[in-house]
Structures are given as structure tokens and as C-alpha cells.
Chain A
Amino acid sequence: MTNLLAARLQMAMSLGFHIIFAAIGIALPLMMCVAEACWLRTGDPIYRTLAKRWAKGAAILFAVGAVSGTVLSFELGLLWPTFMKFAGPIIGLGFGLEGFAFFTEAIFLGVYLYAWDRIPPPAHWAAGAIVAASGALSGVLVVSVNGWMNTPTGFTLIDGVATDINPPAALMNPAFVSEALHMTLAAYAATGLLVAGVHALMLRKDRENPFHRRALGIALAVGGVASVLQPMSGHYAAQVVAETQPPKLAAMEGQFQTERRAPLRIGGLPDAKARTTSYALEIPAGLSILAYNDPDAEVRGLDAFPADEQPPVAVVHLAFQVMVACGMAMMAVSLWAVVSWWRTKRLPTGRAFLAAVALASPLGMIAIEAGWTVTEVGRQPWIIQGVMRTTEAVTTVPGLWWSFAAYTALYAGLGVVVVMLLLHQFRSSPRADAPAGEARRWTS
């Protein structure tokens, strides 16, 4: 058990934990703004209740996202000092701008949560809109740094030293747009469907509840639109990977040999020793078409790269398959809602549909974790693609297993508490059969 492994596990655990809260922190404010806008437009007090309810969830999740994000900004140096010494000046601009976006988000979240009765309603709505916008911007800027790790630009490497540093060029690295688009849509899709699933479960018990019907409508609108758009952004992201990180693409697809008319493999288990991917459903020339828009295009397999520059293929391929499968299922549920709404002009609330939405609920977060695994493990053995290996970047501080154990226990405990608090919020959500006095209480 090496220090390197402990550092990698701690980083993976910290990011895997934070990414859920970060994604919800991007999308939930948008949903509460939509609900509040509906209230301002229609005067229907249920929308106001809904905005307040979602704001409570946002407050809990934002608090955990903020502290786990603070930890990450230190962990970059606590675990990967050599990486930060090299990369800090190049990527710092993105982090610096992100700092301001996060600042704005924190300021106006305070205004939104605490000033319901202190400022005029349009100003209050605007505060929420600023939270939603700065949250999304903050995510985009953090992802720009990940894009840079995948496609480093904005410097010239001379004898291992970065010269001619150009931070704006580093920020606008080749992977930036595709990763930022894919991650932002993922946040809306995953959060929208996650929240929709909760309200669908409530509606199964309480079919005519106007509160949950409105909530389901907004959550599905946000999550559904993003879910339908996401495969397109994924296709674009894969084409960028094909161009900029061919070993990652080969690992994602379980492509060991370089070939023309490379098939698209659905499922399958890559065997790194036998250099084959078995049990996959293969669509002839599918990969060549998807990656290069040409059935005869040559796709470089893992064998085109030195053995010590190949990512762990099984993990990357399986994570990629999981992500795509979740994404497809989410798109299917969203299309079901869209088609039904198109035909009947109202949201379906049949048992089968509600069950499908509830089942799709966790898929978005699973897809985010899987997609994060693809981009991070798929870049290995590099921490900065082609520039610095992960083994070179790790700290020399001994005893990292203690740190990993402590943070894992801390985050596990936090995760349990957050789930319990949210369950408490769900249980106390408004019921349709509530007495009149009760109804007044929850609309105030």
C-alpha cells in the first residue's frame, strides 16, 4: 500500500463526494428560480412554497458543497504539491475567476435564503437568478482546469520548466468547451431527474397533490431538456477526446488494436492480458463513424501507444458503458414525458410513468460519477496529459493513509446526515389532504 495509492483514493473520494453537491448546487437554484418566477407570474402560492422548499434543500447541500470544495482547494497542494508548483501559475486564472463566481453565489444565496420578507419580490427572484448563474459559471471555470489537465496548453515546456506562460490560452484549452458543456448539462439532467424522482414517489401515494405535481413539472422540464440534449454534447466531447487523447478513447471503447471500420462496442469486458474485449455487442464501423464521421476512418487502439502510457482499460470501458447506459435511460424517460405532454398538453401521472421517473432518479448521479471516472482514470498514468505523471506529482509527506481514513469517515458521516436531513424534509412536505389551517401554514 503506497502513499500514491492513498493520495489517489483520497482525491477520488473527495472529488466524488464534492461533485454531487456541486452538481446539485448548479441546478437546484435554477429550479427554485423557475418556481418563484411561476409564483410571481401566476400568484399561485403553491409555487412560492415550492421555491422555499427547494431553497431549504439547496441550503443544506450548498453548505456541504462549500466546505468540501474548500477542502479540495487545499488538497490540491496537500496531496499533489509538485503538480501545483508546475500548474498553479498556468491554471490559476481559472481558479481565481471561479473564486469570484463562488463569492457571488455565496453572497446571493445568503440574500435568497434569509431575505424572503426583507426585500421586494423581484429583487429576491433576481438574487436567486444570480445564484443559479454564478453557480453554473463557477462549475464551468473549475471544469476548465480539468480540461487543461487533459489537453494542456498555454505554456512552452523547456527542460521540464514551463515558460511563455499564457493563462488565458490555458483557460481556453481544446477540451474546455466540450467538457464544460457536458458537465453543465449533466448537472441539470442529473439534478432535475433526481428531484423529479422524489416528487414522483410522493405522487404515487398522493396522486392529486398540487404541490408535487407542480414540482414534478418543473424538475422534469429542467432535467428532461438537459437529458435529451446530453447525448449530442457527449458525441461532441467524444470527438474532442478522439482528437486530443486517443489513448483515452481507445480505453473507453475497449479498442486494443488499431483498425479501420472500428466497431462500436456496447457492453463487453476488456481483458488487458488477452488484449481483447469479449461479450460486447459490436456495431460494425460504429466507432469510426462516431469518432471521425467516416466509416473507413482508422481508430488507433491501445497497442499504438507505449505500455507505460496506457490507461487501465477495464475500469475506463466499464465506467463509460455505465455512463452511456444511464444517459440513454434518462433520455428515454424524458422523451416519454415530452411525447405525452405533446399529445395531451399535460404531464402524465400514470403509475407506470411515475415508477419510471422514480427508477431513473439516481441514474444521473451514477452517470456523473462514472463520467468523472472516465475522464480521470482515462488520463492515467498522467496527471497532466503528456507532461507530468501522477507518480511524479504526489506529496512526500508520510502516513497519508491516516488522512485518507479520517476524511473518508468524515465524508461518510456527512453523507448519512445529509440523507437523513433530506428525508426529514420530504416527510414534512405538504399533503393534499391537509386541513385548511395546515394548508395556510405551508403556503405562508
Chain B
Amino acid sequence: MDFLTSMTPAGGVAAAMLVALIAYALLGGADYGAGVWDLLARGPRAEAQRELIAHAIGPVWEANHVWLIVVVVLLFTSFPEAFTVVMTTLHVPLSLMLIGVVLRGSAFTFRSYDATELARRRWNRVFSIPSVVTPVLLGAVIGAIATGEPGRVAEAGGPVPLFSTWLRPFPIAVGLFALNIFAYVAAVYLTLETDDPALRDDFRRKALISAATLGAVAWAVHLLAKDSAPLVYEGLDRASWGAPLRYATGAMAVAAIVALALRWFAMARLAAAAQVALILWGAAAAQYPYLVPPHLDLTRGAAPAIVHKLMLIALGLGSLILVPSLVYLFRVFKGHTFRAGRRDEDESVRPTPA
């Protein structure tokens, strides 16, 4: 329990940001991934796949996206200089990402309420294409920060470059990695959303394929990181528990693939979610204590401690309302994915908007 005494309020807020980011990846990320599978839906069951996706994410859609806002608010309140540097040096990818957020966020709802089948199909496209582009940009922003280039540009002052901070191999590779992770968790989750064995096998196959490509992309990111993001590359070795963290991530990846192969879908979901959480934890640990390397860490450019303490109190009190509300939401709409035996009675009413 060493960390409890050594953790500063700033560290506490940073940990909360990591938790919110993991939640966004596991929940909002899966919505992006579902959009990817919507775009890639082919074959005789393409329509059934799209319908399953729409039903699965409809009720939880709006809530899943609030996690991103939580991360942003925590960042600008608690670490204003890091926020300012990111928003300035990565203005272009963030602006493009937001256009994607707007397009898919509105199109997803519009397609439920438009008049004709044709119109609904068009909205589907407006939803699914940005679902592919937006995660790449989000990952590129995170990858770019890890290279230290935005931090160096801001430190040097002078004119702000629009593209050179992020339009590089490593950030783009991280972007593709994010896209792949999101598609992977979405496919794993979707295996639990249907009774139809053929449909379930479709998503099982997609999950296994994306697990394999995820390994390949991860390898590419690892190779590129050595030169492009040395600080983060070495960070995981520096941390005393870097090695166990890596082994645990690998073990979860293997467990997820084995569970998928054996059709233990609930187990696969658990392992895949743990794998994603460990990947983000590992990335954060490797970058620790920097928010925007190589200069801005948890102390430099941070808000005064009183702000961090107040934010922690607000987070604690807010969680008292938030956690039961989220549990209720997922019980009402996702309960059937946790009770394999009682699926029939549960599935009698499909969630469709009023």
C-alpha cells in the first residue's frame, strides 16, 4: 500500500484520467469498433450484422461518449499547461477528430428517425466512415504526444507547425493500433449480443482476425517506438513492474484468443477488456511522470494542489451518483449478455428507440 501514502493529489487526478481513458476505450472505443464492422459488413448476413450493431450500442451510445469529456475537463482543470500545449501543437488532428465525432454522433441518431430506407442507409455511411477515421486521429494524437515532438515545439516557442508534430510514422501507427483495438473489443463484445449461432460465429471470426492483426500492429508500434519515442520505449523497462505488466498483457491476449477458440465468449470478453486496460496502463506507466514529454510532468505547469484536491473530492462525490447510474443502465440493457442461460425471456423485448 506504498502508493497510497506516496501518491500526490496531482497523481490521484492523473490516475483518474487514466481510468476515464480506459473506460472510454472499453465503452466508447467499442462503439467506434462497431462502426468499423458496420462498414465492413459483407455477405448474406450483412444486414443482420448491422442491425445487431445498432441494437447493441443504441441505448448506451450517449453515455459511452461522456468519458472523453471527463478526460478533457480533468486535463484542463488540473494540468492547464499540458492541455494548452496539446491543443496548440495538435490543433489539426484534434479538429479533424472532432469533425468525425460530430458526424458519427449525429448520424447514428439520425438513422433511427429518418423516413426512408435509402436515407437510413446513407446515414449509416456517415456513421461508419468517420468511425474508422476518428480513432486513427485519436491514436495519432496520443502517439504524437509520446514522441515528445509537441512538447519540444511548445518549449521552443516560435510558429506552430500544423502537420509535422503528428503526420509521422509512429503517431499514425499508434492511430492504426487504436483503430485495431477498438475493432477487436467490439467484435468480442458482439459475440455476446446475439442468439443466432451463424451471426455469433461471424463476430467470433472477426474477433480472431483482429486479434491477430492487433499483434502485428503492436509489433510495428514497438519497433517504431525505439527511435521515435525513446522516452516511452525505455520507460517501461525503467519501471520496476514494467516486466510483470507486459507479461500480464500478453497472458490476457492469449487467454482471449483461447477463449474465443473454445467459444467461451464471456471469458473472452473479460480477457480482452483486461488486455486493453493493461495496454493503456502500460502506456501510461511508460510515460510516467510525464503528461507531455519531455518537459511537462505532473508538477510542471500543473494547477495548485488545492485544485487537485477539490477535483478528487468532486470525483468521489460524483461517483456516488455515477456508478449506480451506470450499473443500472448496463443492467437494463446489457443484462442479457451476462446471463447466458436466461437469454430467451430477456431477449423478448429488443431495445428500439421510442
Contact = CB atoms under 8 A, between A and B. Distances in A.
B73 A396 contact: no
Contacts of A397: 88, 91, 160, 162
Contacts of A74: 72, 87, 94, 98
Interface bin, chain A: 35 or more
Contacts of A166: 306
Given A60-B109, A97-B318, A410 B101 contact: no
A407 B68 CA distance: 20
A16 to B, nearest CB: 16
B311 interface: yes
Contacts of A98: 73
A396 B154 CA distance: 11
Contacts of A102: 66, 69
Interface in A82-130: 82, 84-86, 88-89, 91-93, 95-100, 102-104, 106-111, 113-119
Contacts of B230: none
Interface string B5-43: 000000000000000000000000000000000000000
A70 B98 contact: yes
Interface stretch (B172-180, B188-196, B239-247, B346-354): B346-354
Interface string A56-78: 10011011101111110110111
A443 interface: no
Contacts of B289: none
B80 interface: yes
Given A92-B78, A414-B106, A417-B110, A66 B329 contact: no
Given A71-B102, A78-B91, A167-B310, A109 B62 contact: yes
B59 interface: yes
B137 to A, nearest CB: 12
A5 B69 CA distance: 27
Given A67-B101, A74-B94, A107-B329, A59 B353 contact: yes
Contact of B99 (A64, A73, A116, A410): A410
B113 A56 contact: yes
A258 interface: no
Interface in B95-145: 95, 98-99, 101-103, 105-106, 108-110, 112-115
Given A89-B77, A396-B88, A96 B354 contact: no
A398 B70 contact: no
A424 to B, nearest CB: 5
A81 B84 contact: yes
A85 B81 CA distance: 6
A68 B314 CA distance: 25
A351 B60 CA distance: 44
A77 B62 CA distance: 23
A425 interface: yes
Contacts of B66: 99, 102-103, 106
A398 B160 contact: yes
A278 interface: no
B341 interface: no
Contacts of B109: 59-60, 62-64
B318 A70 contact: no
Contacts of B353: 56, 59, 113-114
- Classify the interface of chain A: helix, strand, loop or mixed: helix
- Classify the interface of chain B: helix, strand, loop or mixed: helix
Given A59-B353, A64-B106, A84-B80, A107 B88 contact: no
A258 B303 CA distance: 42
Contact of B63 (A63, A81, A106, A396): A106
Contacts of B91: 78, 395, 397, 403
Interface string A386-407: 0000000001111100010011
Contacts of A92: 73, 76-78, 303, 307, 311
Interface in A11-47: none
B325 interface: yes
B59 A100 contact: no
B281 interface: no
A205 B69 CA distance: 45
Contact of A111 (B74, B102, B329): B329
12 contacts: A68-B102, A70-B69, A81-B84, A91-B77, A93-B310, A98-B73, A103-B318, A104-B325, A106-B66, A111-B59, A113-B354, A403-B91
Given A81-B83, A93-B311, 11 more contacts: A56-B354, A59-B109, A66-B105, A70-B69, A77-B87, A96-B73, A100-B322, A103-B325, A107-B62, A111-B328, A118-B333
Which 7 A-B pairs have CB atoms at the shortest separation, nearest pair first?
A92-B77, A77-B87, A89-B303, A63-B109, A100-B318, A67-B105, A88-B80
